[in-house]
Structure 1
Amino acid sequence: MHAQIMYSMNIEKDFLIPFTGLKNGKHSFDFKVDSSFFENYNYNDFNHINAEINVLFDKKINLFELHFTAKGIANVPCDVTNQDFDMPIESEIDLVVKFGDSFNDDHDEILIIPFTEHQLNVAQYIYEMIVLAIPQKRVHPGVKDGTLDSAALDYLGYVNEDEDEFGDLFDDEDEDIFNLIDDLDEEEDVEEEEENTNKDIDPRWAELKKLLTDK
């Protein structure tokens, strides 16, 4: 089963999965969200957003297993230049839904709903999944590849005077990548220097060295 869920950004009605009439097995539900969806949560940490969400709903005898995936674009300001840019976002989470005497969502990946429930509201999980997919440090890709306009580049030149301030924008994984690039550059420099050195050696000395080595 593959159902297209229409939406009007009403989180109380338009993000429900009615499971009572579903047969056991896997069912797919699609949702779309934009900035108006996040207004319900008073979340405005981006300029605007559009994302598509798929929920794979696996109905079993005593529980449900849900797999959420989200893909979209969030327009955010760069932390370095304050220039807006489109940032791709992708995320996925899993959720197990069980039945109990009362509602309980204390566990991040397990939800307990009353036996009397006949539908499931997934709006909260969609909200949390997308918010967590947006990094706290948002750097325009042009900061790293130098493709920003001249005004932004001038500003970056000023920021680069304080390497610590600029370095704080990147996490350890970014630093590992930068270090790897530096190491590769150093290896290339060493190889080039060795090649130049070999070219400068008198061929007679090179032949003598070869004879001594062969012995």
Structure 2
Amino acid sequence: MAELAKYNIAFKGLAQGVHQFEYQIDKKFFDFFAGGIAEDGNVLVKVELEKQSAIMVLWFHISGTVKVQCDRCLDWYDQPIKSENQLFIKYGEESFEEGDDVIWVSPNDHQINVGKLIYDFIILSIPIKQVHPDDENGHSLCNPDMLEKLNQLSGPADKVEHPSDSRWDDLKKLLENE
């Protein structure tokens, strides 16, 4: 956990108002969270903390690139990401369910670690479908050898006709009458 200590924000001594923090995310950060979909990256994270008397609001401004594996050709590529996220921190002895964007901290706590939050927001900003982008001519930047192999193994593109089940023929006639 010592690797994530630089992501601690000590809010106890901060005056009310807006405070800014900046983090440069690289491979060392992603290595701490091994096993995720991103293994490397160059991401700039700007965190704004607005401290009020009874609540704190965190804004995460994330932009950069992460190295992910292409779903089509399995080569690694740099995926651009950008996201804006907001999180509320409330004080209380016990936590209450109020949604995914609220964190409860004890009044005795003096800092919060935003490392895991940054990682989660980076991962959430990666598109579900991870495929190499096309070049300026509209051609895929995927590995051409892998694309050729996929075309060979995919079989004929013709639609296979399934024999009709006679039990459903009468019902199909009803649909045709509409």
Contact 1:20 1:119 in 2 (8 A): yes
CA shift in 2, pair 1:87/1:163, >3 Å: farther
Equivalence for 2:107: 115
Contact 1:29 1:54 in 2 (8 A): yes
Equivalence for 1:135: 127
Equivalence for 2:66: 74
Q: Partners in 1 of 2:69 and 2:149 — Cα distance? A: 15
Contact 1:9 1:33 in 2 (8 A): no
Equivalence for 1:33: 25
CA shift in 2, pair 1:151/1:117, >3 Å: same
> Does the alignment pair 1:10 with 2:3?
yes
2:48 alignment partner, one of 44, 51, 56: 56
Identical counterparts, % of pairs: 29
Contact 2:87 2:102 in 1 (8 A): yes
Equivalence for 1:20: 12
Greater CA drift, 14-23 or 36-45? 36-45
Shift of 1:127: 1.2
Q: Partners in 1 of 2:29 and 2:97 — Cα distance? A: 21
Shift of 1:79: 1.3
Q: TM-score, normalised by structure 1?
A: 0.62
Contact 1:99 1:115 in 2 (8 A): yes
Shift of 1:75: 1.7
Q: Rg larger in 1 or in 2?
A: 1
Q: Partners in 2 of 1:48 and 1:127 — Cα distance? A: 12
CA shift in 2, pair 1:71/1:9, >3 Å: farther
CA shift in 2, pair 1:99/1:146, >3 Å: same
CA shift in 2, pair 1:55/1:103, >3 Å: same
CA shift in 2, pair 1:145/1:112, >3 Å: same
Q: In structure 1, what residue type is equivalent to 2:138?
A: D
Contact 1:17 1:122 in 2 (8 A): yes
Count matched residues.
Answer: 156
Q: Unmatched 5+ residue regions in structure 2?
A: 160-178
Secondary structure at the residue paired with 2:134?
A: helix
Contact 2:31 2:39 in 1 (8 A): no
Q: In structure 1, what residue type is equivalent to 2:52?
A: K
Q: 1 or 2, which has the higher helix percentage?
A: 1
Q: How does 1:141-156 map to 2 (within 5 A)?
A: 141-142=133-134, 145-148=138-141, 150-151=144-145, 154-155=148-149
- RMSD over aligned CA atoms reads 3.0
CA shift in 2, pair 1:124/1:44, >3 Å: closer
CA shift in 2, pair 1:145/1:153, >3 Å: farther
Shift of 1:133: 1.1
